[in-house]
Chain A
């Protein structure tokens, strides 16, 4: 009974039940259900529901984050089978993100990373206090479409410019787009340093990233 299983999958994401989502993913594999179908008809439906409820003010950020975790866990279970069938899940794009060197503010950057990942981007989160060359190396290594640089200090924000320039020097731009954000950052600053986009919050960052990869 695929439909009931799909519903349970969606529900496990809505409830943010990581183990339950994994169990259902394994069950789908045992039943020989196409893993891509399990994702699209099951888990993604849950993610979308939570997204809508969040937008309506009925659900909150922890709901969203837990839903993302459950989704990620389920996909983790399904991945080997996806790879075996050669039906990799289509991602919107690849993002390398981190908080710039000298800066340890974590929460905003992590929120943006989580939202991007939930929205369907492949995200590499480099953490905090990330040196400029690390952004460039990782972007090259994973073939990033977007490099996201978070900075919350006026003293570290100046290094966002260095990332833009280093990606230029490495010949990765303009193919790789740079997006910036964080408390002291403004659209004016983003323009000044030649970044490709700025967003004041995580929701805006998702819309921005989608626009930059032509997904919207």
Chain B
């Protein structure tokens, strides 16, 4: 039984956020920064690649200064369109600029226990269970490692995590928790087992890898080396900037975009220099520092604008975008979470960001909540319906029906109504009951979301992974644990 994936396509609403001149200015400023200030690449492997292509490399500071044409030419080699493959090919995700897919958020450190409601440290079993629920939910197209398996050894944790996701779901897996060469090699080996060989994997990458840049104007050495390994094997690789106005970027939004853009495109250029034509994606979750605490906000008007603007940049470079949305700073599923996650998701969807990350985490991507996960999916569902826009034609103008009903009367008994009513949105969790009913039960969206998660966990049986494949994955991990 294949579970359908709900994604946005053929959008009928659009956004005017950066003009072509704005984008050109951001691009020119970015190249200026990469050439005159440089970006730090703390990996000798990365520095060797830059040097071989004529960039200026300072081995002491590990800062690379690359001329604009080198960056531009490298980026031209990136494929504009490719597919994220799934264990089940029916769930493949073409990144073709005409789809918006949602994933789970990632690397949470605590979980609100689904049974007891208690807040506790995350563990491997949580990764497995969240993957199982995500496998069921049609709004979720692919997985990130949702929380960290803190009961596994640190150096193989990320591998146990992707193993149990594959064991519990047929959807595409993207990992954001692999940032060393050794782990990346093992992950590639594991993905090849799933895909049925190294060459098959290249054709059907069932795993993709997301790395963070290190703002301002830096990269992480382990992340770079892991990304190079993945790109060599043909796995899609993305780099995410998390520039924050006033702390790791200028206080002004345009300046923030320049710093983050310099980090992302320099990293993508490196991958293209090393492995021309390797599938890469732009990734971003820019924000503004909270002026009072210095904290990462995960919401607010700046985030929403970044959410709308970044796909314009990614389109300019002709690569897919993975955009941070949802990611509220709220401590529990509440008003703040609803506002943050709705607006960030709306903005990122209107500009047709290819991937959205992701549902389920609270407190600035730290606390996993199943309730939030499912309510986030409902937010996406609302936006999904909005993106269909208002269709105007003879059928939708419905003049015959309006004539038939005339002044007064109602449309309930019209065939036209029955024909089109299912295009109207029906909520799962919004409370639209009579007041008296609410007063009797005093329950609401959170309770219903929790119930639904419990039910999915109790009943949903994902397409099992061949036990032989599973054993092989375990063997690969064990070989690193000796």
Q: In the complex, A11→B150 CA distance in Å?
A: 50
**B366 neighbours in A (Cβ, 8 Å):** 183-184
Closest residue of chain A to B223, judged by CB?
A: A104
**A156 neighbours in B (Cβ, 8 Å):** 154
Q: In the complex, A158→B109 CA distance in Å?
A: 13
The answer to whether residues A60 and B148 also contact, given A107-B248, A155-B157 and a CB cut-off of 8 A, is no
Partner of A155, one of B154, B291, B293: B154
**A111 neighbours in B (Cβ, 8 Å):** 294
**A60 neighbours in B (Cβ, 8 Å):** 291-292
- Could you show 14 A-B contacts with beta carbons less than 8 Å apart? A57-B292, A60-B291, A61-B291, A62-B246, A62-B291, A104-B214, A104-B220, A107-B248, A111-B294, A155-B154, A155-B157, A183-B366, A184-B109, A184-B366
Q: In the complex, which of the residues B214, B291, B294 has the most CB atoms of chain A within 10 Å of its own CB atom?
A: B294
Do the beta carbons of B292 and A61 come within 8 Å of each other?
yes
B362 at the interface (CB under 8 A from A): no
Do the beta carbons of A61 and B294 come within 8 Å of each other?
yes
Within A168-216, which residues are at the interface with B (CB < 8 Å)? 183-184, 201-202
Closest residue of chain A to B218, judged by CB?
A: A104
The 8 A CB mask of A48-59 against B (1 = contact, 0 = none) is: 000000000100
Q: In the complex, A158→B289 CA distance in Å?
A: 27
Closest residue of chain A to B222, judged by CB?
A: A102
**B293 neighbours in A (Cβ, 8 Å):** 61, 201
The 8 A CB mask of B80-122 against A (1 = contact, 0 = none) is: 0000000000000000000000000000011000000000001
Q: In the complex, A154→B154 CA distance in Å?
A: 8
Within A54-90, which residues are at the interface with B (CB < 8 Å)? 57, 60-62
**B220 neighbours in A (Cβ, 8 Å):** 104
B247 at the interface (CB under 8 A from A): yes
**A61 neighbours in B (Cβ, 8 Å):** 246, 289, 291-294
Do the beta carbons of A154 and B109 come within 8 Å of each other?
yes
The 8 A CB mask of B231-246 against A (1 = contact, 0 = none) is: 0000000000000101
Q: Residues of B with Cβ closer than 8 Å to A?
A: 109-110, 122, 148, 150, 154-155, 157, 214, 220, 244, 246-248, 251, 289, 291-294, 366
Do the beta carbons of B291 and A154 come within 8 Å of each other?
no
**B109 neighbours in A (Cβ, 8 Å):** 154, 183-184
Q: In the complex, which of the residues B244, B251, B289 has the most CB atoms of chain A within 10 Å of its own CB atom?
A: B289
Q: In the complex, A183→B283 CA distance in Å?
A: 22
Q: In the complex, which of the residues A154, A184, A202 has the most CB atoms of chain B within 10 Å of its own CB atom?
A: A154
A108 at the interface (CB under 8 A from B): yes
Within A126-161, which residues are at the interface with B (CB < 8 Å)? 154-156, 158
**B244 neighbours in A (Cβ, 8 Å):** 107
Q: In the complex, A183→B363 CA distance in Å?
A: 10
Do the beta carbons of B154 and A158 come within 8 Å of each other?
yes
Within A101-136, which residues are at the interface with B (CB < 8 Å)? 104, 107-108, 111
Question: Given known contacts A104-B214, A104-B220, A183-B366, what 15 new A-B pairs fall within 8 Å (CB)?
Answer: A57-B292, A61-B293, A62-B246, A62-B291, A107-B244, A107-B294, A154-B109, A154-B148, A154-B154, A154-B157, A155-B148, A155-B155, A158-B154, A183-B109, A201-B293
Nearest Cβ in chain A — how far from B1, in angstroms?
35
Do the beta carbons of B294 and A108 come within 8 Å of each other?
yes
Closest residue of chain B to A111, judged by CB?
A: B294
Closest residue of chain A to B251, judged by CB?
A: A62
Closest residue of chain B to A105, judged by CB?
A: B214
Closest residue of chain A to B177, judged by CB?
A: A155
Q: In the complex, A59→B39 CA distance in Å?
A: 33
Nearest Cβ in chain A — how far from B370, in angstroms?
20
Q: In the complex, A156→B109 CA distance in Å?
A: 13
A-B pairs with the 9 shortest C-beta distances? Answer: A60-B291, A155-B154, A184-B109, A154-B148, A111-B294, A61-B294, A154-B150, A107-B247, A154-B109
Nearest Cβ in chain B — how far from A53, in angstroms?
12
Within A17-64, which residues are at the interface with B (CB < 8 Å)? 57, 60-62
Nearest Cβ in chain B — how far from A154, in angstroms?
5
Q: In the complex, A186→B110 CA distance in Å?
A: 11
Closest residue of chain B to A152, judged by CB?
A: B109
**A184 neighbours in B (Cβ, 8 Å):** 109-110, 366
Q: In the complex, A158→B220 CA distance in Å?
A: 20
Nearest Cβ in chain B — how far from A65, in angstroms?
9
Closest residue of chain A to B122, judged by CB?
A: A154
**B289 neighbours in A (Cβ, 8 Å):** 61
